[in-house]
Amino acid sequence: MTSKLAALERWVNEVAAQTRPAKIHWCDGSDAEYQALVQQMLQTGDLIELNQQTHPGCYLHRSNPSDVARVEHLTFVCTKHEEDAGPNNHWMAPAEAHAKIDALFDGCMQGRTMYVIPYCMGPIDSPLSRCGVEITDSPYVVANMRTMTRMGAAALARIEREGHFVKGLHSTGELDPERRFIMHFPEELTIKSYGSGYGGNALLGKKCHALRIASFQAQREGWLAEHMLIVGIENPQGQTHYIAAAFPSACGKTNLAMLIPPEGYRQNGWRVWTIGDDICWMRPGEDGRLYAINPEAGFFGVAPGTSASSNPNALTSISSDTIFTNVALTADNQPWWEGLPGTPVVDWQGRPYDPANGPAAHPNSRFTVRAKQCPTWSPKAEDAQGVPISAIVFGGRRPSLLPLVMEARDWAHGVLMGAAMGSETTAAATGAVGVLRRDSMAMKPFCGYHYGDYFAHWLSFDKPGAKLPKIFHVNWFRKGKDGKFLWPGFGENLRVLEWMIARVEGKARGAETPIGTLPATGELKLDGLDLPRETLAELLNLDASGWEMELHAIGEYLDSFGKRLPAQLRQEQQRVQQALHVP
């Protein structure tokens, strides 16, 4: 251990003195290490071997049934001043939070191995990347972190060079919901998570570091850490536009990131490139454009609904070397979830499948797989400079009112569209499902500071010399009177992206309305799609009285952020409200 790593070594020793593990293992990220962990977990039952003929290198993990999703009511942002965490976060004073969670960590690793995981979020040589170290007593976390991040020796070398890193301490604990906390100390670049083994609570590089801590750092340093996919759309002329899109959890980021073009588009030479499916870090480049990297190296995707028709790229990716969490099993030991052909025999809790017990796979069951296994994985995802972003897209599950697509007239209007985002809740977090909740920029659970300051930070990117992406809002989830989705979605969403790109390139005129620019008649290419003309009209209609109510609700929502809400955003909301009144 060199002197440059002394701070890390000191912290590891402190944690060991507190948690009293039987052994300390420094992870090197090697194949041999991974294989040894897998063997160990097969013995302890943490992993179950799946059918190795059909799914080589694939394993199943069953979490505790009380530990299957993120727990927002137990997630805290612990800034010195309560104001700084904002009404969008649960807050606890740092001293109180440390005391509370340290009491749980005392002696919690006795008899267990403590793993030290150095990791890098982003390409190892990128100036946009950031490093962290997670200490955990969970081999399942180690295996998943190896897939999801650049983990091991190279990350440790970068930490040694830079001398700083985000500290994350995790213990599975007793999995008692009464003894479970996920605490963030952004001012100390520290995370402490106890009592959960679930992905978003336990893989600290992901939501805790790459979103909550990173968003806080990004505000101070002039960049953005967002809950966005990054996808490249290559047109038949070979030009690629990169698009970043923020949708709340379980609203289609992974699907859009791996989109398969409709038949006609494929024949014409359109291609889709996957850069990231969940998190995007962006900063202005020298040319004034925003450049983005995906800080992750893998996908932690929702399994149910992933099928040969909805997301064949994901299905191909997870046919080998994948860890499944809380899926069901078929008679011949293949992973199964709702949406796949075949029949479940064992449910996610390991019981014989009985429909009376609910779905066979947990609705938030997941797969963890290396991004490189995705057939559409882009080599640009490894580019240290990142990719230039042409368009930013916001969207959510809105059964009514919100049109299929609209474009903001400028950056401030786009920030309003993002701030006003709402969605029906899903199974990705505990709580009621199907309730409309505002989820600005899909960051409600992940913004590590006051939303008012966050909106101001977004607005601040609009300055002289900036060549900002256009901002759009989409809604794949509009429903008709029969309760069915009006838009076919999935691969067909490329038609909407094509219109956006035409707008970016100045090749589509669009139709201006008070709520934004919509596709003009005939601009959305629908050939080969069986979409009745009335359905398209419904998808793009503007219900003025509905929008007045919506703008009123947005105004009230914005006011809930008090003095820290930038006046410019409230003015923007009033501008749209007034525009709606003008006949």
Binding of residue 446 to ligand GTP (CB under 6 A): no
Whole-number minimum distance, CB 274 to ligand GTP, in Å?
A: 12
The binder of ligand GTP chosen from 40, 310, 319, 320 (CB under 6 A): 310
Binding of residue 254 to ligand GTP (CB under 6 A): yes
Binding of residue 400 to ligand GTP (CB under 6 A): no
Whole-number minimum distance, CB 337 to Mn ion, in Å?
A: 14
Nearest to Mn ion of 92, 191 (CB atom): 191
The span from the CA of 457 to the CA of 321, in Å, is 40
Amino acid identity for residue 473 in this structure: H
The span from the CA of 312 to the CA of 317, in Å, is 8
477 binds, among ligand GTP, Mn ion, none (CB under 5 to 8 A by kind): ligand GTP
Nearest to ligand GTP of 140, 490 (CB atom): 490
480 binds, among Mn ion, ligand GTP, none (CB under 5 to 8 A by kind): none
Cα 481 to chain centroid, rounded: 31
The binder of ligand GTP chosen from 112, 253, 362, 470 (CB under 6 A): 253
Q: Which of residues 338-397 bind ligand GTP (CB under 6 A)?
A: none
Nearest to ligand GTP of 173, 491 (CB atom): 491
Q: Where are the beta strands (DSSP E) in 408-483?
A: 422-424, 436-438, 470-474
Amino acid identity for residue 362 in this structure: H
Helical ranges in 382-492 per DSSP H = 411-419, 451-459
Whether 337 contacts 365, CB under 8 Å = yes
Residue number, nearest CB to Mn ion: 254
Nearest to ligand GTP of 251, 416 (CB atom): 251
Whether 315 contacts 334, CB under 8 Å = no
The binder of ligand GTP chosen from 191, 250, 292, 389 (CB under 6 A): 250
Whether 447 contacts 419, CB under 8 Å = no
Whole-number minimum distance, CB 489 to ligand GTP, in Å?
A: 2
Binding of residue 199 to ligand GTP (CB under 6 A): no
Nearest to Mn ion of 58, 302 (CB atom): 302
485 binds, among Mn ion, ligand GTP, none (CB under 5 to 8 A by kind): ligand GTP
Binding of residue 249 to ligand GTP (CB under 6 A): yes
Per-residue x/- marks for ligand GTP, 36-65, CB under 6 A? ------------------------------
Structure tokens at 47: 């992993």
What b/e string do you get for 344-366 counting C-beta neighbours within 10 Å, with b at 16 or more? bbbbbbeeebeeeeebbbbbbbb
* 447 classed as catalytic: no
Nearest to ligand GTP of 46, 226 (CB atom): 226
- The neighbour count for residue 239, using CB atoms within 10 Å, is 10
Helical ranges in 149-285 per DSSP H = 153-162, 199-202, 214-221, 253-257, 263-268
247 binds, among Mn ion, ligand GTP, none (CB under 5 to 8 A by kind): ligand GTP
Strand partners, 402: none
Helical ranges in 106-176 per DSSP H = 139-148, 153-162
| Residue among 108, 251, 280, 447 flagged as catalytic | 251
429 three-state secondary structure: strand
Amino acid identity for residue 394 in this structure: F
Sign of the Cα torsion 244, 249, 252, 255 reads positive
Structure tokens at 212: 């909550």
The binding site for Mn ion (CB under 5 A) comprises 249, 253-254, 278, 301
Whether 37 contacts 31, CB under 8 Å = no
Whole-number minimum distance, CB 252 to Mn ion, in Å?
A: 8
Sign of the Cα torsion 518, 520, 524, 530 reads positive
Whole-number minimum distance, CB 559 to ligand GTP, in Å?
A: 28
Q: Which helix (H) or strand (E) holds 136?
A: strand 130-136
The binder of ligand GTP chosen from 247, 446, 454, 547 (CB under 6 A): 247
Whole-number minimum distance, CB 553 to ligand GTP, in Å?
A: 24
The span from the CA of 391 to the CA of 483, in Å, is 31
Nearest to ligand GTP of 75, 254 (CB atom): 254
Q: Which of residues 471-490 bind ligand GTP (CB under 6 A)?
A: 476-477, 485, 489-490
Residue number, nearest CB to ligand GTP: 489
Whole-number minimum distance, CB 107 to ligand GTP, in Å?
A: 34
Strand partners, 293: 281
The binder of ligand GTP chosen from 251, 272, 290, 420 (CB under 6 A): 251
Whole-number minimum distance, CB 325 to ligand GTP, in Å?
A: 13
The span from the CA of 156 to the CA of 153, in Å, is 5
Number of residues engaging ligand GTP in binding (CB under 6 A): 21
Per-residue x/- marks for ligand GTP, 284-303, CB under 6 A? -----------------xx-
Q: Which residue has the tokens 């073009």?
A: 261
Number of H helices, E strands in the chain: 17, 29
Binding of residue 418 to ligand GTP (CB under 6 A): no
Binding of residue 97 to ligand GTP (CB under 6 A): no
The span from the CA of 88 to the CA of 90, in Å, is 7
Strand partners, 427: none
Binding of residue 491 to ligand GTP (CB under 6 A): no
Contact residues toward ligand GTP (CB under 6 A) are: 247, 249-255, 277-278, 301-302, 305, 310, 428, 476-477, 485, 489-490, 493
Residues assigned a catalytic role: 251
